[in-house]
């Protein structure tokens, strides 16, 4: 099978398998595709016990990811996030609850949240960018103002603001 051209690699201290399993449970049509383990080769560099998990390859709804147990050197921050486009408010509710469970409640605004591993997600309605793309239109300004006051996006409230109701 041909590998995808782009695969995000997520750096974890030692939670790669746990995190991949969690994400696969959250997203439908998802699976772990491979687990690679550290060997004794290079142990003077990686300092991991032979047989411990090094890399977990997985797919979330068709998107390939890699999770690496690389140690505590790097941490996630808000400079990178993954956007979850939702068709309905029920989907927004589902992903908001599942991804936000155990995360940082202070890191929630405008559809953004941080999960229990520190990874940032944007849980947004499909088509929201269409509402906001014309920054000069009164509807876009009202929708932007409404969105800025939200943590979890409320699709009907956003639409009402856009429509001027």
The CATH number for 136's domain is 3.10.180.10
The confidence score (pLDDT) of residue 47 equals 83
Does one domain contain both 65 and 89?
no
pLDDT tens per residue across span 133-158: 998 999 999 999 999 999 999 999 99
Does one domain contain both 15 and 86?
no
Does one domain contain both 106 and 63?
no
Report whether pLDDT(1) > 70.
no
Answer whether residue 75 is part of any domain: no
The confidence band for 163, taking pLDDT boundaries of 50, 70 and 90, is very high
Among 69, 89, 117, the domain-final residue is 69
Does one domain contain both 56 and 85?
no
The confidence score (pLDDT) of residue 113 equals 97
The confidence score (pLDDT) of residue 152 equals 97
Q: Which domain holds residue 17?
A: 9-69
Number of domains in the chain: 2
- DSSP bridge partners of 130: none
The confidence band for 2, taking pLDDT boundaries of 50, 70 and 90, is low
Answer whether residue 59 is part of any domain: yes
Does one domain contain both 46 and 120?
no
pLDDT tens per residue across span 16-70: 999 999 999 999 999 999 999 999 898 878 888 889 999 999 999 999 999 999 9
pTM of structure: 0.91
Exposed (0-12), middle (13-18) or buried (19+): which is 78, by Cβ within 10 Å?
Answer: exposed
Answer whether residue 96 is part of any domain: yes
Does one domain contain both 53 and 89?
no
Answer whether residue 76 is part of any domain: no
Does one domain contain both 50 and 13?
yes
Query: HSE (CB half, 13 Å, CA atoms) of 8?
Result: 14
Does one domain contain both 51 and 90?
no
pLDDT tens per residue across span 81-137: 999 999 999 999 999 999 999 999 999 999 999 999 999 999 999 989 999 999 899
The confidence band for 162, taking pLDDT boundaries of 50, 70 and 90, is very high
Give Cα 19 distance to the centre of its chain. Answer: 11
């Amino acid at each position: 099978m041909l590998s995808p051209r782009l695969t995000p690699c997520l750096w974890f201290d030692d939670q790669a398998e746990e995190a991949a399993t969690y994400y696969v449970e959250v997203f439908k049509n998802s699976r772990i595709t491979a687990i690679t383990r550290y060997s004794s080769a290079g142990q003077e560099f990686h300092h991991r016990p032979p047989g411990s998990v090094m890399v977990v390859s997985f797919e979330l709804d068709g998107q390939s990811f890699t999770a690496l147990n690389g140690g505590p050197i790097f941490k996630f921050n808000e400079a990178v996030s993954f956007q979850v486009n939702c068709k309905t408010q029920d989907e927004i509710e589902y992903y908001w609850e599942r991804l936000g469970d155990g995360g940082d409640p202070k890191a929630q605004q405008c559809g953004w949240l941080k999960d229990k591993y520190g990874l940032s997600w944007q849980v947004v309605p499909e088509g929201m960018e269409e509402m906001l793309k014309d920054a000069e239109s009164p509807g876009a300004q009202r929708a932007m103002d409404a969105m800025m006051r939200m943590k979890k996006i409320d699709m009907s409230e956003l639409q009402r603001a856009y429509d001027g109701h």
